[in-house]
Chains A and B, each alone.
Chain A
Amino acid sequence: MPSSKAPLLQVRDLSVSYQTRRGNVRAVSNVSFDLYPGETLAFIGESGCGKSTLNLALIRLLPKTAIIESGSIRYRKRDGSIIDVQSLNDKQMRRFLWSECSMVFQGALNAFNPVIRISDMVYDTAAAHGMNKSEAKDRVMDLFTKVRLDGGRVFNAFPHELSGGMRQRVLLAISLLLNPQIVIMDEPTTAVDILTQRSILDVLERMREELHFSILFISHDLAVAAEIADRIATMYAGEIVEIGPVDNVFYHPRHAYTFSLLNAAPRLSTEKEELHSIPGSPPDLIKPPSGCKFHPRCSFATEICQMEPPPLVAAEDEPLHSVACHHVDQVLASQRR
């Protein structure tokens, strides 16, 4: 599927650093990936691995202490023209947000202004993009129905009058107000209850089928990623260490880190299971380890891992599945046992 269409978003060699008193923290390091129309790409990894920084960089919402050191972000508009997101001026950037790429943040309450009604939030967003009030209202009411919300009740409500699940669905609806091609979702189902999570995931799935937008999904919850993603990208210490179709990555992980993450996730459907934590903690990104950044915590590591950083290359037998690990064969062999 992906190879047949032109990518919507092309990220190449993107590096982002935060400047701190102790030195430069390289939170995202030489990241390259493509996002195709209609697909969901999920980023997984421990906290501090650079998932959120990467996605904030894509929409230029990084804090002032962060600088994009290198790389390009190319976006293909509906008319086929390609724009460089980094070269947009402020006005163009404001247009780009919401109408081309929108974002749903985690912890839905923080994403609202507590003293304005949902309706005003909708109108403000619409006005900034030249959409008139009645058109905005019609469209958002339609979206509210799609996300299974009672539009009449929600539209004039204040954020605090809504439950967590409702707020998250309101955000989802508003993020689609201007019909963007990409929606970035940062842990949208973290901190909600099981049944609420289920309804958000179901709604998301239905909206995706109807409206065909692409999703960049950030989650530390492997189960949610397994359900929603078409492709998975594992991040470690600011780098993409493995990227491929969801089934490949979950059933035949090729990077030792992905393999370890999967081994630490409890499942309901299996009988008694053997799980293992990953020893140690993610590295200090001011002074990252030499070679493969995962080597100090890796049970497969050998001398070469300390010396040379492994490049992210496509597997010979699985061209859509790329991995940056010196010991792919051993990682795969250990799964056959």
Chain B
Amino acid sequence: MAVSEVMPQTSPVSAMTPAEQTPILELRHLHRWFTKGRQRIPVIQDINLSIQPNEILCLVGESGCGKTTTGKMMVGLLEASQGEILIEGRNRQSYKGKEKSLLRRELQIIHQDPFASLNPAHTVEQILSFPLVKHKLVKNRAELRKRIWDLLTLVELTPAADIVGKYPHQLSGGQRQRVSIARTLSVQPRLIVADEAVSMVDVSIRIGILKTLLDLRSRLGLAIVFITHDLALAKYFAWEGRIAVMYLGRIVEIGSTRDIIANPAHPYTRALLSAVPEADPLITRRKKPLVLRSEDIPKLTDIPPGCAFHPRCPFFQPGQCDRELPVLSPPPGFVQEVACIPLQGDGTLTPYVE
């Protein structure tokens, strides 16, 4: 049951995904706003995304960029204000009755804080049996026991006998997060949104949990949406997948992880990548961070016109960036899609001079 020590291979589990063309989840022109008095605060604006079965997609960005809101809308914990969510090519609204309850099972989310998301008064056995009983996934007690046992083995909480009777406070942070992963898997999901799933656990055991998730993905054919603010972690986890960089509610760059990490295009992505310190003294000292024109993130109530990044962008082009809304498309010389007007001209950027 040991997780393979190498990272999973590129080849998807093709046997499990015959309908390669139909994405398991598609977001079309998705918007979400919250209202405060008469004011409308746009949190998500015009997001278009599709996720294939068995795919890994990473949503990265700073706090307040809409990563979590997007994740919640994906699994149906939050309604969209405008736009469509298609599941296997069908609008979510068209799912009714039994189908709708199946949908609930198939799209799951792992929350950031395993202490808050597990009921402290319930044992691990109780925590794992509720979803199984509720969704009638087991016929009798013996089967329930066996399923719980299997789930714990699947997330490498072994020996299971030592774990089932414990309460969350008797487990370490990493073990707790594994219990929430087991709970998520209990209902046989096809897509999991992992929202900062390892940011609360120690660095020393993060990789173990991520490997378990990656291993489950290749064995069970899961699609995983991984939400994180940690770019190095995103790179490691989504090496075989894609990254979408978000800024103030919009996707500003999306493409394969390798392309984005090796050759970031959008000024915001460049700023992020160049700002991250590295666990390597020489490399981190030599890094030249891209200096922004302003350190303040604009408020969501007052999003700048045109490209929302323009007041901070060192490559700002007056008359263009502050007027036109950039659209996602691959600029000359790049493979990934980028929402940046100057870049889409000839694939280069010129510093802004005041």
List residues of chain A with CB under 8 Å of any chain B CB: 46-47, 148, 163, 165, 193-199, 201-202, 220-224, 226-227, 246-247, 250-251, 260-262, 264-269, 272-279, 281
Contact = CB atoms under 8 A, between A and B. Distances in A.
B327 interface: no
Contacts of A260: 204
Contacts of B231: 194, 268
B204 A223 contact: no
Contacts of B204: 46, 260-261, 264, 277-278
A277 B207 contact: yes
A236 B204 CA distance: 12
Contacts of A227: 277-278, 281, 284-285
A275 B236 CA distance: 9
A276 B207 contact: yes
Given A194-B231, A199-B295, A226-B279, A264 B207 contact: yes
Nearest to A279: B208
B229 interface: yes
B226 interface: no
Given A227-B281, A227-B284, A227-B285, A194 B207 contact: no
A268 B205 contact: no
Contacts of B174: 281
A264 B5 contact: no
Given A46-B204, A165-B295, A269 B280 contact: yes
Nearest to A278: B204
B202 A193 contact: no
B275 interface: yes
Interface string B180-222: 0000000000000000000000111111110100000000000
B290 to A, nearest CB: 10
Contacts of B78: none
A1 B272 CA distance: 34
Contacts of A275: 207, 236
A46 B233 CA distance: 18
B8 to A, nearest CB: 11
Nearest 5 A/B pairs, CB to CB: A277-B208, A198-B275, A193-B62, A223-B277, A266-B236
Interface residues of B, number: 43
B335 interface: no
Contacts of B205: 264, 277-278, 281
Majority-rule SS of B interface residues: helix
Contacts of A278: 204-205
A267 B231 CA distance: 9
A328 to B, nearest CB: 21
Contacts of B229: 193-194
A46 B277 CA distance: 19
B292 A222 contact: no
B281 A268 contact: no
19 contacts: A193-B62, A198-B276, A199-B295, A201-B277, A202-B289, A220-B202, A222-B203, A223-B276, A223-B277, A227-B284, A247-B282, A264-B203, A264-B205, A265-B203, A265-B279, A266-B235, A267-B279, A269-B280, A275-B207
Give the one of A194, A199, A251 with max B CB within 10 A: A194
B200 to A, nearest CB: 10
A226 B280 contact: yes
Given A262-B279, A269-B278, A269-B280, A274 B235 contact: no
B294 to A, nearest CB: 10
A226 B281 contact: yes
Interface in B1-31: 5-7
Contacts of B236: 266, 273, 275
Contact of B284 (A163, A195, A226, A281): A226
B239 interface: yes
B277 to A, nearest CB: 4
Give the one of B5, B174, B272, B278 with max A CB within 10 A: B278
Interface string B289-300: 100100111000
A261 B203 contact: yes
